[in-house]
Amino acid sequence: MQRKTLRYAVALFAIAACSAAGATSPSTLRVGSLTLAYCNSDYDGYCGAIERPLDPTGVVPGTVTVGFEFYPRHDRAHASLGTIAPQEGGPGYSSTGTRDFYLGLFAPLRDHRDVVIIDKRGTGLSDAIGCEPLQSDSAPFLKAVAQCGHQLGPRAYFYGTAFAAGDIAAVLDALAVRQVDFYGDSYGTFVGQVFAALYPERIRTLILDSAYPVKPADPWFGSDWATAWSGIDTSCKRSPSCSRLGGRASDRVRELLEFVRGRPIAGLAYDADGNPSQVTVDPASLFYAIDSAGYGPVVYRDLDAAARAWLEEGDSAPLLRLIAETGANPVSAPVDYSEGLYVAVSCSDYPLLYDMTQGPGVRRRQYDLAVRQARDQRPDLFAPFSFDEAFESGAYITPLDTCLPWPKPPSSVVQGAPVPPTVHYPDTPTLVLSGDLDSITSPLDASEAAAQFPNAVHIVIPNLTHVVAGSDEIGCASALVLHFIEHREPGDSNCRFRVRPVRTVARFAASSSALAPLVAQPANRGDRHALQVAAAALEGVGDSLARYGLSLSGSGRGLRGGTFTSTSDAGGYELQLSSYRFSEDVAISGTVTFSSRSSRVTAAVQIEDSGRNIGHLVARWRDSDADAVATVAGRLNGITIRGQRIAP
């Protein structure tokens, strides 16, 4: 259940398992009744498609192409041990667009298991819905929704999850695949629940990563906000750089909230891809940023220090940047992300505050009444923010007014009921995974989803956010997924207690002289100032690593100037820094590498102090360690530097 177009990078540490078999693979492959065409030499994959009726009843004419990619097991001399079917979220993202993550996650099983990645109707290879101006965000949202609904006309309600589940079953039939091990993340868990309910015999195991229930107890999803707000203190308590400050991080954020209620902070900042924009920090934008914290660790990492930088120093740069990054709204091609599909699924399947069988006027009155009742009866729903401050943020706290101008459903579709009310979920072995910092689909949401299945195990992993499989550096979540597919039970889950906490920023400082110096080590000859310059360089390295996890373009800007670009492969990723600045006076240029296999970070950078090249430093640490210590060595102004501190 992700917001409409905001998507943070997830599973940064999944290892892509490229295949060398492409050179000798046949150009076609017969699977079931289909002949598939070779289409992916990186992973030795084949592409196919089937035609499906848009409306199974035939009342609304037309068909939809359902496209998919099939990755056969490496050992084709023996029978397959099974087929894995992953599904991406959104709604609106294509599953094939996430093949790198999925094939990296399931690489240890690919010798003997096939993988089929099916794009849901309206996404990716399956006739992606392209609604303008909704897709390009070039018109007021509700006006664009109305135009999209008009464009789709009678087709508007035939992109719901139940129809997508029918397509998945039809593809499996065509491939002669009887059962699958189904993995879904975010909205993919919603698809998994519907597929399990409607086609229980087709699932061998069901894995729901960051789940929310088909029938939520609370359409406002209040537990998501509660997770985001409590996560501020949870992250602080677990991070030495924050916990040693004393007090509560949430109290400092409350103080910031009170300030911007009276005097919003405005200025120029750069989003996660380095694009400049004018930003205003007010209660609504601050709420939006905190509510978005579950997409990745950066908000939890930066927020307390950014609040302190403003409250104590009047330094707005860290806070403005954080708002710019969380407010980013990148425009994608429909094949990558379909805004029209997002709206179609929301209006078809999600609980709304009004009756879609009614006309726009009645819907608006019902909606206004429901909002007034929530405001009056649940004033603390988004505390310490007021109901109106949260409401005005535009955050995805419920579908809200999205579907007010959408067409009425046909008589064959019951809005908000993708599965029959009397459905019994199967006793299929089910694994539900959550991160305890996930404010997008909270652990409570996941518990409600798990409770629907008689044979479900729900594992909450500390310190992780949205979509946990592969997103922790020790591979705990991915190991649980793989073990569950092989053995139909998760095995030993104690690894979750070794997942490292979010390491919060100790302090944002405009000058290196305001930073705590590194702790000098034997052979160090640098003075306090030199160790502060080295600390600023180390903070810059950590800051660039955090920004890598946000950027969709592979490039971005430093807090106070400079840039980074990134490349990645099966072994990890590398950042190239150019005059990257955490503080105003210290710029770093060079290379930062992260190894997926060892979780080792190595940074080799040249240092400029106040515009003058003064030397070089090398920093190293193992990032997966709970309280990893970074060692820094090099020379500044011809003097040997040796120091250490907790890794950034």
DSSP bridge partners of 36: 29
| Overall size of the chain counted in residues | 648
Q: Are residues 120 and 204 in the same domain?
A: yes
Do 526 and 637 share a structural domain? Answer: yes
Using pLDDT thresholds of 50, 70 and 90, give the confidence band for residue 611.
Answer: confident
Tell me what pLDDT residue 38 has. 97
Residue 330 pLDDT exceeds 70: no
* Residue 345: closest CA among 85, 129, 172, 97: 129
C-alpha span between 223 and 255 (Å, rounded)? 23
DSSP 466: S
Rounded to whole angstroms, the Cα distance separating 264 from 518 reads 35
- Average pLDDT for residues 132-156, to the nearest whole number? 94
Number of structural domains in the chain:
3
Q: Two tokens at 562?
A: 């400079």
Cβ–Cβ < 8 Å for 88, 98: yes
Residue 371 in any domain: the answer is no
* Model confidence pLDDT, tens digit, residues 502-547: 999 999 999 999 999 999 999 999 999 999 999 999 999 999 999 9
463 pLDDT higher than 60: yes
Picking from 441, 476, 498, the residue at the C-terminal end of a domain is 498
Helical ranges in 61-218 per DSSP H: 99-105, 141-152, 161-174, 187-198
Provide the pLDDT for residue 332.
79
Same domain, 626 and 482: no
Token couple for 312 = 């104590």
Say whether both 168 and 291 belong to one domain.
Answer: no
Same domain, 200 and 276: no
- Distance from C-alpha of 592 to C-alpha of 587, rounded to nearest angstrom: 14
Q: Where are the beta strands (DSSP E) in 483-609?
A: 519-520, 555-557, 563-569, 572-581, 586-595, 600-609
Give the type of residue at 160: G
> Counting Cβ atoms within 10 Å, is residue 190 exposed (0-12), middle (13-18) or buried (19+)?
buried
CATH number of residue 173's parent domain: 3.40.50.1820
Residues 296 and 176 occupy one common structural domain: no
> Considering the domain boundaries, does residue 422 fall inside one?
no
Which of 498, 533, 549 terminates a domain? The answer is 498
- Residue 455, Cβ neighbours under 10 Å: how many? 13
pLDDT one-digit tens code per residue, 29-42:
999 999 999 999 99
Distance CA 102, CA 104 (A): 5
Domain match, 262 and 383 both: yes
d(CA 344, CA 346): 6
Residues 192 and 261 placed together within one structural domain of the fold:
no
What was the pLDDT predicted at 328? 58
The mean pLDDT value for 367-381 works out to 95
What value does the mean pLDDT take over residues 637-645?
A: 97
Could you tell me what percent of the chain has a pLDDT over 90?
89
Q: What is the pLDDT of residue 36?
A: 98
pTM as predicted: 0.94
Looking at the fold, whether 199 and 269 belong to one and the same domain comes out as: no
In a domain, 616, yes or no: yes
Q: Is residue 420 part of a domain?
A: no
Mean pLDDT of the region 119-145: 95
Residues 204 and 250 grouped into a single domain: no
SS3 content of the chain, % helix, strand, coil (to 5): 35, 25, 45
Render the burial of 583-606: b for 16+ CB within 10 Å, e for the rest.
Answer: bbbbbbbbebebbbeebebebbbb
Which of 469, 498, 527 represents a domain boundary (last residue)?
A: 498
Domain for residue 503, yes or no? Answer: no
Mean pLDDT, to the nearest integer, of 377-398? 92
Residue 22 pLDDT greater than 90, yes or no: no
Domain hosting residue 555, numbered range: 509-648
- Residue 140 shares a structural domain with residue 52: yes
Residue 407 lies inside a defined structural domain of this protein: no
Torsion angles phi and psi, residue 592, rounded to 5: -120, 125
Q: How far apart are CA 215 and CA 197, in angstroms?
A: 12
The answer to the question of residue 415 being in a domain is: no
The answer to whether position 352 is within a domain reads no
Q: Which residue has the higher pLDDT, 610 or 343?
A: 343
Mean pLDDT is lowest, of 222-226, 447-451, 607-611, for 607-611
Q: What per-residue confidence (pLDDT) applies to 15?
A: 39
For the ranges 19-23, 212-216, 580-584, the maximum mean pLDDT occurs at: 580-584
CB 61 within 8 A of CB 53: no
User: Average pLDDT in the 592-601 region?
Assistant: 95
**Separation in Å, CA 526 to CA 4, 457, 483, 633:** 51, 54, 50, 11
Q: Are residues 584 and 438 in the same domain?
A: no
